[in-house]
């Protein structure tokens, strides 16, 4: 499938509306307080009440990076970080229990300041679908909004060749297998400490990765690089409105801070509707897990 988006500036806003209507609608709601700006909230979403406590002791380090402008070195981190954001974006659009996309190579890129609004990147990339091993060439444009507040990046991407893998049969079989609520699936530590994933757990691992991409996309900026480190656990809930439903607890690794960040997500999926993330909840860093044996506080 080839996506072609107009590159014109004025159509960026149109893009927001179009993605709502397009194939894989993503309804994403962040529970609790915190600045929510524009792009990351579906116009129809209803924020749920619960406040989340995010406790962080001490200040996080301020990494003052001089933002590169002009032609980017594909080996250096600015292009790489932007390219990873494109990866997350593609997974939110096309990912499934049988389709999980990763960045393979950055071929070229450039960045420019957009006066008082943020920074725009253009990239030429190769992405790889992990299960079928099919690779595709992509061109992407991203916009990182500047200013205060946590605003999600905006991404457009067109890829060729990436969706050649025919996952329909597998997805349908998986869907049928799990839609009746006789035997609700669950699992934990995927992969385990030794990198092992039980074959029956693999689609749930992929699904966790794809669902995590919604968070990783939303949370990304030019000073972050996210990967999903592990599915801590997942539990299947009763199927509702023909959507498989799951609670997921995932560990995300943020490379620059090196932090492991815990998130809980409510995820739905069906072959037709694709992956949707209905709720996300940041988990506080587990300080009590780290209590040293003989502290006098």
Residue 199 interacts with another protein (CB under 8 A): yes or no: no
Burial class (CB in 10 A: 0-12, 13-18, 19+), 189: middle
Residue 60 interacts with another protein (CB under 8 A): yes or no: yes
Residue 181 interacts with another protein (CB under 8 A): yes or no: no
Residue 134 interacts with another protein (CB under 8 A): yes or no: no
Residue 76 interacts with another protein (CB under 8 A): yes or no: yes
Produce one character per residue of 160-177: b if its CB has 16 or more CB atoms within 10 Å, e if not: eebbebebeebbeebbee
**List 6, 73, 176, 186, residue binding another protein (CB under 8 A):** 73
Residue 285 interacts with another protein (CB under 8 A): yes or no: yes
Residue 103 interacts with another protein (CB under 8 A): yes or no: yes
**List 112, 198, 242, 259, residue binding another protein (CB under 8 A):** 259
CA dihedral sign of residues 95, 98, 99, 101:
positive
**Binding range to another protein, per CB under 8 A, among 53-61, 158-166, 264-272, 275-283:** 53-61
Residue 196 interacts with another protein (CB under 8 A): yes or no: yes
Residue 58 interacts with another protein (CB under 8 A): yes or no: yes
Min dist. Cβ of residue 93 to another protein (A): 19
**DSSP reduced 3-state for 226:** strand
**List 51, 59, 148, 238, residue binding another protein (CB under 8 A):** 59
What span, in angstroms and rounded, lies between the C-alpha atoms of 26 and 211? 11
Residue 198 interacts with another protein (CB under 8 A): yes or no: no
Residue 256 interacts with another protein (CB under 8 A): yes or no: yes
Give me the long-range contacts of 230-233 (CB less than 8 A, separation at least 24): 230/189, 230/190, 230/191, 231/187, 231/188, 231/189, 231/190, 231/204, 231/205, 232/188, 232/189, 232/262, 233/186, 233/187, 233/188, 233/189
Nearer to another protein, 45 or 126 (CB): 126
Min dist. Cβ of residue 113 to another protein (A): 20
Q: Which of residues 111-130 bind another protein (CB under 8 A)?
A: 130
Which residue do the tokens 């599915």 mark? 231
Residue 195 interacts with another protein (CB under 8 A): yes or no: yes
Q: How many residues bind another protein (CB under 8 A)?
A: 48
**In sequence order, what are the beta bridge partners of 99?**
96
DSSP string of 107-127, one letter each residue: EEEEEEEETTTEEEEEEEEEE
Min dist. Cβ of residue 173 to another protein (A): 24
How far out from the chain centre does Cα 192 lie?
21
Residue 272 interacts with another protein (CB under 8 A): yes or no: no
Which chain residues interact with another protein by CB under 8 A?
56-66, 73, 75-77, 80, 84, 102-103, 105, 130, 191-196, 227-230, 251, 253, 255-260, 285, 287-292, 295, 297
């Amino acid at each position: 499938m080839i996506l072609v988006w107009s590159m014109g500036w004025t159509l960026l806003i149109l893009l927001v509306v179009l993605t709502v209507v397009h194939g894989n609608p993503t309804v994403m709601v962040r529970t609790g307080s915190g600045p929510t700006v524009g792009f990351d909230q579906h116009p129809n979403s209803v924020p749920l009440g619960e406040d989340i406590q995010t406790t962080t002791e001490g200040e996080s380090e301020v990494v003052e990076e001089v933002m590169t402008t002009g032609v980017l070195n594909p080996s250096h981190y600015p292009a790489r970080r932007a390219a990873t954001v494109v990866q997350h974006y593609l997974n939110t659009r096309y990912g499934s229990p049988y389709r999980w996309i990763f960045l393979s190579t950055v071929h070229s890129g450039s960045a420019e300041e957009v006066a008082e609004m943020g920074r725009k990147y253009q990239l030429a990339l190769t992405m790889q679908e992990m299960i079928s091993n099919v690779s595709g060439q992509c061109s992407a444009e991203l916009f990182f909004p500047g200013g205060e507040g946590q605003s999600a990046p905006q991404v457009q991407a067109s890829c060729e060749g990436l969706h050649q893998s025919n996952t329909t049969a597998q997805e349908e079989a998986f869907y049928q297998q799990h839609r009746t609520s006789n035997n609700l699936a669950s699992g934990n530590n995927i992969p385990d400490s030794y990198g092992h994933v039980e074959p029956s757990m693999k689609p749930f691992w992929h699904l966790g990765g794809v669902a995590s991409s919604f968070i990783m996309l939303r949370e990304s900026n030019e000073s972050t690089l996210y990967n999903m480190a592990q599915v801590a656990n997942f539990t299947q809930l009763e199927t509702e409105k023909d959507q498989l439903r799951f609670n997921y607890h995932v560990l995300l690794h943020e490379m620059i801070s090196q932090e492991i960040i815990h998130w809980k997500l409510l995820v739905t999926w069906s072959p037709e509707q694709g992956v949707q993330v209905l709720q996300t909840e940041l988990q506080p860093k587990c300080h009590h897990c780290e209590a040293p044996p003989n502290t006098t506080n």
